[in-house]
Amino acid sequence: MVKVSALFTSILLLAASVTSKTVFTGETIDGFRVATHIDVTDLPSNSLTKVFVRMPKNQIGQNWHVPVMIAKGAEDGKRLFLNSGIHGDGLNGIRVVQKVMNDLDTSKMNGVVVGIPGANVNGMLNNKRRFVSMSGSGSLTDLNQYFPGDVEELDDVYQFVGILWDNVISNNNFTAAVDFQTQATGNSACLNVNADVSVNYVKRMVDISGADVVVTKSTDADTGALDDNLAAKGVAAFTYVLANPRVFDNEAIQRGYEFSQRLIADLAIQTSGSRYASPANYVNSDTLVTDTVDTFYANSGGFVETHVELLDSVKKDQVLATMYDPHGDVVEVFKASNAGKVMELLSDPLREPGALIASVAVSA
């Protein structure tokens, strides 16, 4: 009986994943329709559609539901995907997506913008960065290491990611995509982008990002990261880290919002009525672009005092932080290996082995 039930569940999930049109279940949550599959081609033009996408069931037999917003213009055009909240403590991007989507004037749009204002509803509900699985003694999983997922896999994480990928993301032929994240709980960060600038149009996205630091990389879908898997499909995609976790940081949110509006204008999706409609002249001369980041982790446990601030310019061998034991004796001193800018710092001084101390974006 268990095998039959599991097979039946997999068949249902697989059937949903290969559906070519938007499928509504007939249910509503707080007045918003529930869907199992989103296809932007059959949604009405000149409309903002707000839905919940039905996800796998949890341990008490109730489905998770992820909010999705689809703005479709009066005419066809390019397609942009804005994701947020892939980690349950990454809240700034959620507010960016909410604001961007609700401010769009679909009557003056060519194309489509799809936004997910909070993908990891499980993590948010459990006040955790990672997805919480309750089987056995429980486990915590980083969803951003599991794309593209697998709806046939008998595993809640694979199915959760697989439904998002198959039924919202990969099937809608996006031109460009941004995954808004934040640093992890206990740490802080400047606004930074991780991008493969060899992918078509990504360099342009970097140029108008307004980030403090841009870290260039090579696409590797095996990381399981959302942006890497999109880039591997030819979508111009990158991750944008909007500062600190578990807060609504108004400055970070505003900068993420303004970048999104510049991107929408640059893609010619918003045809008029936006004060961000001329991004061609936008320049952020303070952005540091690098392919090297020196990251320092705790080798032991203890109390850490930092001696630098985010975005400080540091020299080689400059002291970044000091770890002390319970009696205040020095355990370890952390020094910059190269000159650069401080990109990440701990915010919680209590550090275990392997915990982040600081990272320095190395100057060219």
Render pLDDT for 73-125 as a digit per residue (tens, 0 to 9).
Answer: 999 999 999 999 999 999 999 999 999 999 999 999 999 999 999 999 999 99
**Domain 23-267 falls in which CATH fold?**
Aminopeptidase (3.40.630)
**Terminal CA-CA length for the chain:** 62
How far apart, in whole angstroms, are the C-alpha atoms of residue 38 and residue 20?
A: 8
Instruction: Note the pLDDT tens digit of each residue in 31-51.
Output: 999 999 999 999 999 999 999
Predicted TM-score of the model (pTM): 0.93
pLDDT band at 136 (very low <50, low <70, confident <90, very high): confident
CB burial string 230-259: b at 16+ within 10 A, e below: bbbeebbbbbbbbbbbbeebeebbebbbbb
- Residue 235: per-residue pLDDT: 98
Break the chain into its structural domains and give their ranges: 23-267, 292-362
- Residue 9: per-residue pLDDT: 46
Helix axes 2-17, 156-164, angle to 10 degrees: 20
How far apart, in whole angstroms, are the C-alpha atoms of residue 349 and residue 321?
A: 10
How far apart, in whole angstroms, are the C-alpha atoms of residue 75 and residue 97?
A: 22
How far apart, in whole angstroms, are the C-alpha atoms of residue 219 and residue 229?
A: 8
CB burial string 198-221: b at 16+ within 10 A, e below: ebebbebbbbbbbbbbbbbbebee
pLDDT band at 348 (very low <50, low <70, confident <90, very high): very high
How far apart, in whole angstroms, are the C-alpha atoms of residue 267 and residue 103?
A: 17
Beta strand 23-29 pairing with 313-314? unpaired
Asked whether residue 1 carries a pLDDT value surpassing 50, the answer given is no
Evaluated on CA atoms 316, 319, 320, 322, the torsion sign reads positive
* Best CATH choice for the domain 292-362 from the list 3.30.420.10, 2.40.50.100, 2.60.40.10, 3.40.190.10: 2.40.50.100
Q: Mean pLDDT in the chain? A: 93
The fraction of the chain above a pLDDT of 90, given in percent, is 88
Evaluated on CA atoms 65, 71, 77, 80, the torsion sign reads negative
